[in-house]
């Protein structure tokens, strides 16, 4: 071979042309914007079709239909919101306008009302034929029966005069109305109804109900019921009114709603409760003249209407009448202020946040259909109330934290509450338990109240009929409390897995196993998963979609667990971080069905077939959809959502271990570039929050994150990323972060492949605080990115979390900040843990993000940080996204943040040129004009 030919051959190898290879390249921000996630997954009830949506961060989604054998049937761009009808014959979805076409129209200043809108697509899964409906507003399909769909569209325009037809003018209260179309999917016949504001299908029977504002003389305003099986339409009430809370029973033969008079002269509608029972017109069954109402109360338009499971009870809401405004005083004469009272139940800031909710607050009442009487169940005495046995039980559980509300300001959760039972026939309440730190739950059959007591870490039950209370677990029998709890607060429980049939027993978790517990403590708890603790596997019960709680009844909606039949479990090995699916039979140890060195999601199951859809992933493997049966043998991959990944230099993930400065054995994850060479030295970014090593096998979907670095972006561009676990003691969170992180970094440096002069750190919120603290203790870092940090625990302690209105003191005394005492009890701990007071020690350039609408961490904390560094003439930059809360949520801002953070680290850790925004800043006069990249 000549010298020239050898050079050509070598060049071919290097460029990857030879043998069809493609040279991999680093990931960019633009590549991430195009990265597609699977954001919808629907399985037909018969298991023959899997529908999923691939959606990029920026761009148009694609809806795909495949069989369990990965035979693609359909692929539609710009499609979303898929519904498969109950009979598995039809796919209904929305077609949205292409993103770029909307953008181009906006650049031309096209008015919002003239922009294209969604379309409705109705696809026949058998024939492949698609019908398209223009200008879609809404669409619904029955849940448990098939043959029909209903949809609304924007009103048509009359081409003769340019006016819209098919609807009426918008009501004064802004409740929009549109034409409603009811389509028979078998015959293709379509019925149209004008001016519809609300419509519902019955859950189990072929019936629907809707409210219409009518249309001139051709269609009367009112509420209509349609029995589809008999093609029978009935008008339940005549005329226009303010109708609210339309509801229909599961069987479709009962309807309820609220109605109040409407008109220009009526400022506040007075509502009555109407009920219809499959014949004649709807009748008023309760109004504000009823004696069941407390004095000066009224039926509330904001209370939810719902029928009990057996249909004999109708629940609704009432509320105190609002205080009328004094019409003799001008608005401009009324002082505008908030009055904070030292001993009111809720801080004024909390009340302001919750003002709209509180103005609409209603209190539960019930109309006994079979008895014709109405009872007020909930009063202002209670903080909350819950039905049981799907509304059919004789008593309800209520609770009140009012006697303990003030102390929650510094104690946080769980609240202290008193527990009551409310008689559904009389509304009389009986206290059953005083001062419990838990919200009570109700067993599905309504026989027991149950709660977890964090004080003695036990599960407790209350037998409603006998009035007896039982402590059914203890730390000696089942360790229900979080074993890794490291905050100065009561440890949380590991939750429950549900109840067995007839409330015979309930299933609770410890860290690893599932325990069957006798609710009256007649038998000791039994470990039904047997070997979780011995193997280090944390077992959790798999509940398929149709077994999970849905609807208004909460956990009581869940199907009972049949422990006599095989159960399916998810298992996570805390040692290896591997996941698995297991089968558990009575009195046997779990049998592996599908396990491996990967992360698994909670699987979905077809309602009427043994077809399972799940995902598996690791740091390098995209979580594509897999289809199998309940044996989990021979899964078939049916999606390929990230084929472009092979074009990029990727990364790896491994577990590393070291010893903290105070002697703890620690672990963390280390992520390396795909082409890692141990003989080279790499820049390192340390990114952490609390504990993340159990996420070793997570894929970490490429994303322009709101608050953290993207691991794939950085490893693809030649960085190492280190994420260490942090273990905390009470009172010294900053010191604990230092003790855990720094020896971890040192251990990596000793391996020889870390460039010790080019190490950065990045964290946000609690992580932002910790990296800020580290900057005051070490000069090891060449650059630090600190998002939404708290740097002054004194000023933060007395501040407000504006999103909720809560005072921040509970966080410092009992939760994440882990100080454990108030500023008056241990002021030095607040001083020692506050980076602000040692900013003079910092010699590291700092990039701060603090947004002026932050509702979690007061943004003045970021200002204190920046102003202190500026005063001390330390290099620092502050990013303030004006329309962002705790972090940027708009894609444009997330992209900007990621670009600037990458430029910051690239400059200090890779020696790349400094961008303009870092070198000279961007004047306010150039805001939005010169990005300074």
**What does the alpha-carbon distance between residue 258 and residue 273 come to, in Å, rounded to a whole number?**
5
Determine contact, residues 855/790, Cβ cutoff 8 Å. no
- Asked whether the predicted pLDDT for residue 803 surpasses 70, the reply is yes
- As a whole number, mean pLDDT of residues 51-64 equals 98
Asked if residue 862 lies in contact with residue 878, where contact means CB atoms within 8 angstroms, the answer is: yes
Q: With contact defined as beta carbons under 8 Å apart, do 131 and 122 qualify?
A: yes
Model confidence at 170, pLDDT cuts 50, 70, 90, reads very low
Contact assessment for residue 579 and residue 566, using Cβ atoms and an 8 Å cutoff = no
Report the distance separating Cα 888 and Cα 713, nearest Å. 19
| Band of residue 324 on the pLDDT scale cut at 50, 70, 90 | confident
pLDDT of residue 566: 94
Return d(Cα 581, Cα 586) in angstroms, integer: 17
Q: How far is CA 183 from CA 152, 224, 236, 662, 699, in A?
A: 11, 16, 22, 70, 43
* Pair of tokens at residue 760: 């950065």
Q: What percent of the chain has pLDDT over 90?
A: 87
Element containing residue 267 per DSSP (H, E): none
Q: CA 302 → CA 230, 329, 368, 850, distances in Å?
A: 34, 29, 20, 37
Write down the pLDDT at residue 14.
46
pLDDT tier for residue 588 given thresholds of 50, 70 and 90: very high
Rounded CA separation 440/451 (Å): 5
Helix (H) or strand (E) holding 784: strand 783-787
8-state DSSP, 107: H
Q: Would you call 650 exposed, middle or buried from its count of C-beta atoms within 10 A (0-12, 13-18, 19+)?
A: middle
**pLDDT tens column, 94-103:** 999 999 999 9
Q: Exposure pattern of 55-87 as b/e (b: 16+ CB <10 Å)? A: bbbbbbbbbbbbebeeeebbebebbbbbbbbbb
Cα–Cα distance, 636 to 500 (Å, whole number): 34
Distance CA 25, CA 545 (A): 41
DSSP SS3 for 159: coil
Confidence of residue 411 (pLDDT cuts 50, 70, 90): confident
| Nearest-angstrom CA–CA distance, 247 and 390 | 16
Of 684 and 15, more confident: 684
- The Cα 875–Cα 842 span in angstroms is 10
pLDDT tens digit string along 846-867?
A: 999 999 999 999 999 999 999 9
Cα dihedral sign for 442, 444, 448, 450?
negative
What is the percent of the chain where pLDDT is above 70? 94
DSSP for residue 322:
P
Tokens at 439, concatenated: 């919200």
Confidence check: pLDDT of 12 > 70: no
**What value does the mean pLDDT of the chain take?**
93
Backbone φ, ψ for residue 837 (5° rounding): -80, -5
Does residue 708 sit in helix, strand or coil? coil
pLDDT per residue over 710-744, tens digit each? Answer: 999 999 999 999 999 999 999 999 999 999 999 99
Residue 340 CA to residue 288 CA, distance in Å, equals 34
Name, in order, each residue with C-beta under 8 angstroms of 203's C-beta and a sequence gap of 6 or more: 142, 143, 144, 250
Helix, strand, or coil here: 704?
A: coil
């Amino acid at each position: 071979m000549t010298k020239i030919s050898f050079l050509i051959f070598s060049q071919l190898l290097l460029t990857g042309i030879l043998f069809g290879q493609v040279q991999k390249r680093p990931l960019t921000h633009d590549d991430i914007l195009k990265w597609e996630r699977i954001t919808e997954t629907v399985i037909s009830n018969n298991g023959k079709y899997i529908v999923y949506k691939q959606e990029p961060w920026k761009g148009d989604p694609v809806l795909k239909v495949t069989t369990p054998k990965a035979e693609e049937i359909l692929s539609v761009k710009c499609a979303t919101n898929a519904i498969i009808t109950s009979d598995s014959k039809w796919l209904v979805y929305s077609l949205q306008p292409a993103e770029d076409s909307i953008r181009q129209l906006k650049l031309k200043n096209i008015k919002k009302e003239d922009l294209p809108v969604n379309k409705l697509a109705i696809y026949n899964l058998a024939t492949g034929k698609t019908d398209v409906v223009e200008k879609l507003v809404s669409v619904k399909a029955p849940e448990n029966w098939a043959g029909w769909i209903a949809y609304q569209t924007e009103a048509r325009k009359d081409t003769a005069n340019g006016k819209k037809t098919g609807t009426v003018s918008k009501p004064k209260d802004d409740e929009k109305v549109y034409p409603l179309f009811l389509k028979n999917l078998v015959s293709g016949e379509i019925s149209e109804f004008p001016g519809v504001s609300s419509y519902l299908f019955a859950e189990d029977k072929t019936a629907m109900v809707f409210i219409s504002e009518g249309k001139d003389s051709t269609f009367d305003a009112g509420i209509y019921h349609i029995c589809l099986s008999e093609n029978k339409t009935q008008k339940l009430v005549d005329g226009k009114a303010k109708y609210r809370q339309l509801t229909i029973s599961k069987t479709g033969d009962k309807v309820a709603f609220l109605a109040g008079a409407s008109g220009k002269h009526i400022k506040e509608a007075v509502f009555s409760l109407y009920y219809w029972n499959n014949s004649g017109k709807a009748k008023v069954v309760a109004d504000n003249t009823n004696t069941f109402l407390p004095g000066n109360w009224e039926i509330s338009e904001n209370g939810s209407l719902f029928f009990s499971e057996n249909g004999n009870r109708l629940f609704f809401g009432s509320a105190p009448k609002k205080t009328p405004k004094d019409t003799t005083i001008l608005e401009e004469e009324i002082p505008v202020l908030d009055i904070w009272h030292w001993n009111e139940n809720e801080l004024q800031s909390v009340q302001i946040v919750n003002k709209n909710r509180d103005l609409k607050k209603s209190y539960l009442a019930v109309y006994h259909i079979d008895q014709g009487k109405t009872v007020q169940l909930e009063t202002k005495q209670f903080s909350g109330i819950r039905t049981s046995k799907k509304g059919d039980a004789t008593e309800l559980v209520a609770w009140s934290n009012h006697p303990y509300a003030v102390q929650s300001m510094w104690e946080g959760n769980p609240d202290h509450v008193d527990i009551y039972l409310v008689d559904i026939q009389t509304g009389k309440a009986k206290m059953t338990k005083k001062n419990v730190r838990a919200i009570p739950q109700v067993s599905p059959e309504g026989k027991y109240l149950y709660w977890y007591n964090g004080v003695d870490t036990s599960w407790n039950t209350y037998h409603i009929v006998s009035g007896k209370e039982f402590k059914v677990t203890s730390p000696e029998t089942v360790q229900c409390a979080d074993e890794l709890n490291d905050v100065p607060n009561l440890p949380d429980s590991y939750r429950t897995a549900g109840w067995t049939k007839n409330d015979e027993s309930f299933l609770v978790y410890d860290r690893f196993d599932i325990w069957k517990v006798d609710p009256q403590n007649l038998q000791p708890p039994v470990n039904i998963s047997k070997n979780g603790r011995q193997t280090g596997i944390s077992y959790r019960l798999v509940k398929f979609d149709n077994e999970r709680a849905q609807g208004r009844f909460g956990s009581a909606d869940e199907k009972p667990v049949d422990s006599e039949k095989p159960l399916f479990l998810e298992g996570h090995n805390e040692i290896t971080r591997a996941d698995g699916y297991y089968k558990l039979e009575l009195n046997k140890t779990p049998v592996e069905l599908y396990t491996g060195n990967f992360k698994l999601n909670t699987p979905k199951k077809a309602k009427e077939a043994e077809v399972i859809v799940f995902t598996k992933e690791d740091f390098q493997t995209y979580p594509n959809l897999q289809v199998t049966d309940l044996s989990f043998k021979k899964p078939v991959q049916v999606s390929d959502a990230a084929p472009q990944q092979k074009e990029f230099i990727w990364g790896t993930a491994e577990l590393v271990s070291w010893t903290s400065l105070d002697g703890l054995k620690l672990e963390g994850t280390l992520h390396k570039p795909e082409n890692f060479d141990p003989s080279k030295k790499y820049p390192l970014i340390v990114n952490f929050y609390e504990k993340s090593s159990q996420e070793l096998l997570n894929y970490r979907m490429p994303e322009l994150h709101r608050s953290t670095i993207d691991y794939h972006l950085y490893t693809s561009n030649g960085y190492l990323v280190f994420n260490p676990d942090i273990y905390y003691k009470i009172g010294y969170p900053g010191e604990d972060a230092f003790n855990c992180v720094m020896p971890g970094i040192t251990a990596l440096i000793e391996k020889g492949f870390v460039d010790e002069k080019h190490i950065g750190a990045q964290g946000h919120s609690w992580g932002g605080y910790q990296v800020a603290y580290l900057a005051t203790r070490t000069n090891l870092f060449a650059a630090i990115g600190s998002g939404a940090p708290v740097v002054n625990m004194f000023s933060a302690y007395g501040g407000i979390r504006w999103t909720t209105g809560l005072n921040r003191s509970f966080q410092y005394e009992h939760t994440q900040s882990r100080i454990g005492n108030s500023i008056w009890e241990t002021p030095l701990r607040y001083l020692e843990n506050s980076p602000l007071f040692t900013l003079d020690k910092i010699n590291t350039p700092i990039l701060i993000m603090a947004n002026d609408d932050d509702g979690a961490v007061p943004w003045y904390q970021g200002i204190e940080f920046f102003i202190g560094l500026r005063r001390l003439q330390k290099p620092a930059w502050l990013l303030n996204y004006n329309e962002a809360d705790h972090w940027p949520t708009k894609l444009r801002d997330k992209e900007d943040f990621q670009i600037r953070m990458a430029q910051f680290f690239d400059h200090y850790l890779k020696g790349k040129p400094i961008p303009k925004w870092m070198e000279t800043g961007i004047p306010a006069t150039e805001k939005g004009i010169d990005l300074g990249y």
